[in-house]
Structure 1
Amino acid sequence: MPLLSRKTSKRVAKDRLKLVLIHDRANCSPELLDMIKTDIIKVISKYMEIDEEGLDVKMGNTKSEISDDIVPALYANIPIKKMRKAK
């Protein structure tokens, strides 16, 4: 197996482990994350047409603005196709 493939596999495994740890620390199951994603789609779709296939919602960590603590954060990458007209 080429060295590049091993690094890629190692990187993928490391990223998956980070994701599991973040979800665990945030007490956010994959099912809860899917429910959040569904709710985000419902709300945002009222105002704009989005590419649901391209929607990416993840849990991560960030530094708190209040203290030096590291806290869970929800990140959403939402591709917008076009804005809806105001009713």
Structure 2
Amino acid sequence: MFQKKMSKNVAKERLKLLLVHDRANVSSDLLDDVKKEIVEVINKYMDIDEESSEINLTRGRNSAQLEANMLVKSIKRQK
């Protein structure tokens, strides 16, 4: 349970960092690294189809939105 909460907080902080960097015109390399890490975290809990997964960042006037669209094949059972 502690690991799950810790992973959630790490992911949340990464997303905050992503938004801050995006507003400062983040590089595509950094965005690719963040996308890869998001997929790695999700893979700890679910089997997903990585080939059909899409993660997009769109900017609005005063905000940014991160969208993830992933086909979940199965949920991994926690031991």
Percent identical among aligned pairs is 42
Matched letter for residue 27 of structure 1: N
Matched letter for residue 59 of structure 1: L
Inter-partner Cα distance in structure 1 for 2:41 and 2:22: 26
Secondary structure, aligned partner of 1:34: helix
1:44 Cα deviation after fit: 0.6
**Shift >6 Å, 4+ stretches:** none
Q: Which runs of 5+ in 2 are unaligned?
A: 1-20
- Alpha-carbon spacing, 1:24–1:38, altered in 2? closer, same or farther (3 Å): closer
Query: Which of structures 1 and 2 has the bigger CA Rg?
Result: 1
- Return the TM-score normalized by structure 1: 0.57
Secondary structure, aligned partner of 1:35: helix
Q: Which runs of 5+ in 1 are unaligned?
A: 1-22, 63-68
Secondary structure, aligned partner of 2:78: coil
- Return the TM-score normalized by structure 2: 0.62
CA root-mean-square deviation = 2.2
Matched letter for residue 36 of structure 1: V
The corresponding residue for 1:72 is: 64
1:72 Cα deviation after fit: 1.6
The corresponding residue for 2:44 is: 46
Query: How many residues are paired up?
Result: 59
The corresponding residue for 2:74 is: 82
Residues 26 and 72 in structure 1, CA contact (< 8 A), matched pair in contact too? no
- Alpha-carbon spacing, 1:79–1:49, altered in 2? closer, same or farther (3 Å): same
- Alpha-carbon spacing, 1:38–1:24, altered in 2? closer, same or farther (3 Å): closer
